[in-house]
Amino acid sequence: MSYPMDLPPKDAVGTDTAQAQRPARFAGSGAKSYDARIRRLVPGYATLLDVIAPVLASRIGRGEASILISGAGTGAELSELAFQSTHWRFTAVDPSEDMLAIAGRRADMLGCLEQVDFHACALAGYSCRQPHDAALSILVAHFLPDDGEKAGYFKDLARSLKPGAPLVFADLGRLWEGADRPAYSRWVESVSPDPSAASATVDRIARDFHPVDEARLARLLDDAGFSPPQRLFQVFDFAGYLTVRR
Ligand SMILES: C[S@@+](CC[C@H](N)C(=O)[O-])C[C@H]1O[C@@H](n2cnc3c(N)ncnc32)[C@H](O)[C@@H]1O
């Protein structure tokens, strides 16, 4: 097991190059507040997490399997998956040491720490010894610009998987162009402790995220070596999909 995260959370952005290029939202206090913040940013986040484990279990069964969790963050997926099978092993990859430190403590509390290998790096910096049986990428790819970085990310997922292995991923997309922004804004207002900050949140998402429409998404996946994505979750422009490594 590699578990290099017994580090106190830092208030600065971490040292990893990929992390250094990202805003501080996943470092220091940004990591500490993440679990509360994400529920006020992604409508249906709890439901999204609920469906991941059954979808994976239906594909790979509950026997021995190795599951890559790219952008594992504070370990939300880990807590959903660890109860499915004690035979599943997890590789949690994330450039934020602070997020992974929380994931490590969570795995320890849940009693599944021994099932997890942690790698504090972006997916591009992770080289697997053996391709995995399944992968997750929840709310990660939408941060990557569609200038080659997003395509490279899906290719890195593909090279980390065995042929036939499922990938479950979710991101902000462009599904409901134009119509959803006021509705989403209303939703953020309704769940925010400071409704006046809601429009700033929505503006920040429009500025910082790099959503693509489903035609582009299918193309990126096809180029990377994945089957056409099947949508399994959607609220506003947030959507989750199942695809399979060809
Ligand atoms: C919105 S959080 C999602 C965390 C978790 N998957 C969840 O659903 O709660 C995005 C995470 O992706 C990580 N991340 C950003 N770029 C990444 C990359 N290129 N490879 C892997 N992880 C990345 C961030 O550090 C952050 O922890």
Task: Give the pLDDT score at 23.
Answer: 53
71 C-alpha to ligand 1 centroid (Å): 3
Report the pLDDT averaged over residues 30-55: 95
Q: Who has greater pLDDT, 104 or 183?
A: 104
Mean pLDDT of all residues belonging to the chain? 90
Answer whether residue 18 shows pLDDT above 70. Answer: no
> What is the dihedral angle through the alpha carbons of 191, 192, 194, 198, rounded to the nearest 10 degrees?
-110
Dist. CA 96 → ligand 1 center (Å): 8
Local structure of residue 108 (DSSP, 8 states)? H
Residue 246 clears pLDDT 50, i.e. is over it: yes
- pLDDT of 181: 80
Q: Map residue 79 onto helix, strand or coil.
A: helix
Amino acid type, 130: Q
Residue count of the chain:
246
Q: Where are the domains of the chain?
A: 10-177+211-244
The yes-or-no verdict on residue 1 having pLDDT over 80 is: no
Please give the pLDDT value at position 73.
98
When pLDDT is averaged across residues 117-123 and rounded to a whole number, the result is 98
C-alpha span between 186 and 184 (Å, rounded) = 5
Closest CA to 74 of 111, 126, 36: 36
Q: What is the pLDDT of residue 15?
A: 38
Strand partners, 149: none
Residue range 151-203, pLDDT digits in tens = 999 999 999 999 999 999 999 999 976 667 888 999 999 999 888 888 888 88
pTM: 0.92
Closest ligand 1 atom, CA of 137? 6
- Residue 155, SS3? helix
Q: Which residues does a 6 A CB cutoff place in the pocket of ligand 1?
A: 18, 26, 38, 70-73, 76-77, 93-96, 99, 122-123, 138-140, 143, 153
Residue pLDDT, tens place only, 108-119: 999 999 999 999
- Rounded to an integer, the average pLDDT of 214-225 is 98
Q: What is the pLDDT of residues 135-144, one digit of tens each?
A: 999 999 999 9
- Residues 20-30 have pLDDT tens digits of 445 578 999 99
Lowest mean pLDDT among 116-130, 183-197, 215-229: 183-197
- CA 139 – ligand 1 centroid, Å: 7
> What mean pLDDT comes out for the span 12-38?
70
Pocket test for ligand 1, best of 10, 40, 94 (most atoms within 8 A of CB): 94
Mean pLDDT of 61-88: 96
Question: What is the structure's pLDDT at 197?
Answer: 83
Ligand 1 atom 1: the closest Cα is on which residue? 139
pLDDT > 80? residue 16: no
Whether the predicted pLDDT of 2 surpasses 70 = no
What is the distance between the alpha carbons of residues 43 and 202, in angstroms, rounded to a whole number? 13
Question: Of the residues 39, 126, 140, which should be mutated to test ligand 1's pocket, given the most ligand atoms within 8 Å of the CB?
Answer: 140
Nearest CA to ligand 1 atom 13: 71
Q: Which CATH superfamily is domain 10-177+211-244 in?
A: Vaccinia Virus protein VP39 (3.40.50.150)
